[in-house]
């Protein structure tokens, strides 16, 4: 099975919660190759605290950078260069070890966030042969950002499984589905408490749509 890559229409749109839900729903492994900024904790630790099924393994980051900035800037501040071949090699090792389980990969920011001076998150998705779930959060301007993200996927030839929507600002979901042609996999309404039980409930709701999307593109 191709890895499933969780990316968003921007920063702080709910990728990590969506990744936890998808990981829980599919009994998958989770991996965030590049973490930029961890003063308040990492996305890897967050997902590890929210996923409760015993099949999931949480894999460590390849690049764990302290600066909360675009990965290429965070790496530069630490005297490093993010190397896509190194990430590819780590992915091969993970995939060889998990056999038939899916691997959920969480990106950093959106598709065109630079990893180094020449490559972006979109290039990483292609290098990892991943299929994408797009995360959109409902806010003023999110239709534009969502359509641009979908157009970027088509330009790069990135296969898309569908959308996961976040938040409760108006009802933009069907507009985005109609304009892009990518199906909705579910909505994560604003949670009073982000807990493993909430993630379990969302995973149960979303699993049929996830499985349908995966089987459709297999």
97-145: pLDDT as tens digits: 987 899 999 999 899 999 999 999 999 999 999 999 999 998 888 999 9
Cα–Cα distance between 153 and 163 in angstroms, integer?
A: 13
152-207: pLDDT as tens digits: 999 999 999 999 999 877 788 999 999 999 999 999 988 888 999 999 999 999 99
Our measurement of the distance from residue 121's CA atom to the centroid of its chain's CA atoms, rounded to an integer in Å, reads 11
Mean pLDDT of 10-36: 96
Annotated catalytic residue: which of 32, 64, 101, 212?
A: 32
40-89: pLDDT as tens digits: 889 999 999 999 999 999 999 999 999 999 999 999 999 999 999 999 99
Residue among 210, 105, 128, 122 at smallest CA distance from 161:
210
| Contact call for residues 116 and 75 (beta carbons, < 8 A) | yes
Cα–Cα distance between 69 and 49 in angstroms, integer?
A: 24
Tell me: pLDDT of 217 over 80.
no
Residue among 208, 162, 171, 211 at smallest CA distance from 189:
171
Cβ within 8 Å of residue 131, ≥6 positions away: 2, 3, 4, 5, 159, 160, 161, 214, 217
Cβ within 8 Å of residue 21, ≥6 positions away: 164, 186, 188, 199, 202, 203, 206
**φ, ψ (nearest 5 deg) of residue 44:** -60, -45
Cα–Cα distance between 130 and 6 in angstroms, integer?
A: 10
Residue 128: CA atoms inside 13 Å, Cβ hemisphere, count? 31
Tell me: pLDDT of 38 over 90.
no
Mean pLDDT of 10-35: 96
Q: Concatenate the DSSP letters of all residues of 61-120 into one string.
A: PSEEESS-S-HHHHHHHTT----HHHHHHHHHHHHHHHTTS-EEEEEEEETT-BSSSS-B
CB neighbours (10 Å) of residue 114? 18
198-211: pLDDT as tens digits: 999 999 999 999 99
101 — alpha (psi -120 to 50), left (phi > 0) or beta?
beta
Query: Has 32 been annotated as catalytic?
Result: yes
Residue among 52, 3, 18, 217 at smallest CA distance from 136:
18
Q: Which residues pair with 165 in a beta bridge?
A: 136, 187
Tell me: pLDDT of 218 over 90.
no
């Amino acid at each position: 099975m191709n890895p499933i890559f969780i990316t968003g229409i921007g920063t702080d749109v709910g990728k990590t919660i969506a990744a936890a839900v998808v990981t829980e729903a599919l009994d998958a492994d989770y991996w965030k190759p590049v973490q930029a900024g961890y003063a308040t904790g990492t996305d890897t630790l967050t997902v590890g605290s929210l996923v409760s099924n015993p099949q999931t393994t949480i894999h460590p980051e390849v690049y764990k950078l302290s600066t909360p900035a675009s990965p290429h800037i965070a790496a530069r501040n630490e005297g490093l260069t993010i190397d896509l071949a190194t990430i590819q090699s780590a992915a091969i090792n993970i995939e060889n070890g998990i056999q038939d389980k899916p691997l959920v990969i969480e990106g950093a920011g959106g598709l065109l966030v630079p990893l180094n001076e020449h490559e972006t998150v979109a290039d990483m998705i292609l290098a990892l042969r991943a299929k994408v779930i797009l995360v959109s959060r409902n806010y003023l301007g999110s239709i534009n950002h969502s359509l641009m993200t979908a157009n970027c996927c088509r330009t790069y030839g990135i296969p898309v499984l569908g959308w996961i929507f976040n938040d409760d600002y108006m009802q933009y979901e069907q507009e985005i589905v109609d304009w892009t042609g990518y199906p909705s996999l579910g909505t994560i309404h604003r949670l009073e408490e982000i807990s493993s039980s909430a993630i379990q409930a969302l995973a149960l709701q979303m699993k049929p749509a996830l499985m349908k999307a995966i089987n459709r593109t297999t």
